[in-house]
């Protein structure tokens, strides 16, 4: 049983609800859940690494990643498996040490190659079947926070991380 040290997230439908609203000027608007951001900070404080891997491209994703200190962001990817593998190599982890959180068919390949695949509650049925864990919360509604807690518990780090985190706040 390998500890998970790399958390790779799809964006639309995982960090967001998956809705794609546009302004009158044609600019895409994204909304992110604050609990997911806090959980990603917690994951990093526990020594984990976060990467974003999205099929779409959006400046809002880059802005959110910058807010959270996430350096590995790859967007506009239609074949996620080779990029997933490249991220693992760059970070220096094997697939057994990675978790991928997804919601749609483009996420199946990396989910099938990682050590701990997670689907959000709003994922399509095929993705849910490929997951080791399905969150109770929907994408964009705190599902990532739930996934982070699950992984920290799996790693045996939940109590220690929460003790250290509560002393900081």
Instruction: Tell me the pLDDT tens digit for each residue of 112-162.
Output: 999 999 999 999 999 999 999 999 999 999 999 999 999 999 999 988 888
Residue 87: is its pLDDT beyond 80? yes
Q: pLDDT value at position 1?
A: 64
Q: How much of the chain exceeds pLDDT 70, in percent?
A: 98
Q: Which residues contact 140 (CB under 8 A, 6 or more apart)?
A: 13, 14, 15, 16, 17, 18, 31, 32, 33
Average pLDDT over residues 47-59: 96
Cβ–Cβ < 8 Å for 36, 127:
no
Q: Provide the mean pLDDT of the chain.
A: 93
Across 20-42, b (16+ Cβ under 10 Å) vs e yields eeeeeeeeeebebbebbbbbbbb
CATH superfamily of the 6-168 domain? HAD superfamily/HAD-like (3.40.50.1000)
Residue 60: is its pLDDT beyond 70? yes
Q: How far is CA 143 from the centre of its chain?
A: 9
What's the whole-model pTM score?
A: 0.93
Average pLDDT over residues 46-50: 96
Q: How much of the chain exceeds pLDDT 90, in percent?
A: 83
């Amino acid at each position: 049983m390998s500890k998970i040290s790399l958390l790779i997230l799809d964006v639309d439908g995982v960090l967001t609800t998956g809705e794609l609203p546009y302004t009158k000027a044609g600019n895409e608007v994204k909304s992110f859940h604050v609990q997911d951001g806090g959980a990603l900070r917690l994951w990093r404080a526990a020594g984990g690494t976060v990467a974003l891997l999205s099929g779409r491209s959006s400046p809002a994703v880059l802005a959110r990643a910058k807010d959270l200190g996430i350096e590995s962001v790859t967007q506009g990817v239609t074949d996620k498996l080779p990029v997933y593998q490249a991220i693992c190599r760059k970070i220096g982890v094997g697939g057994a040490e990675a978790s991928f959180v997804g919601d749609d068919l483009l996420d199946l390949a990396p989910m099938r190659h990682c050590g701990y695949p997670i689907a959000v509650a709003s994922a399509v049925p095929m993705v849910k079947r490929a997951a080791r864990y399905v969150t109770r919360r929907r994408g964009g509604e705190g599902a990532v926070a739930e996934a982070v807690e699950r992984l920290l518990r799996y790693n045996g780090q939940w109590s220690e991380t929460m003790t250290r985190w509560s002393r900081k706040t």
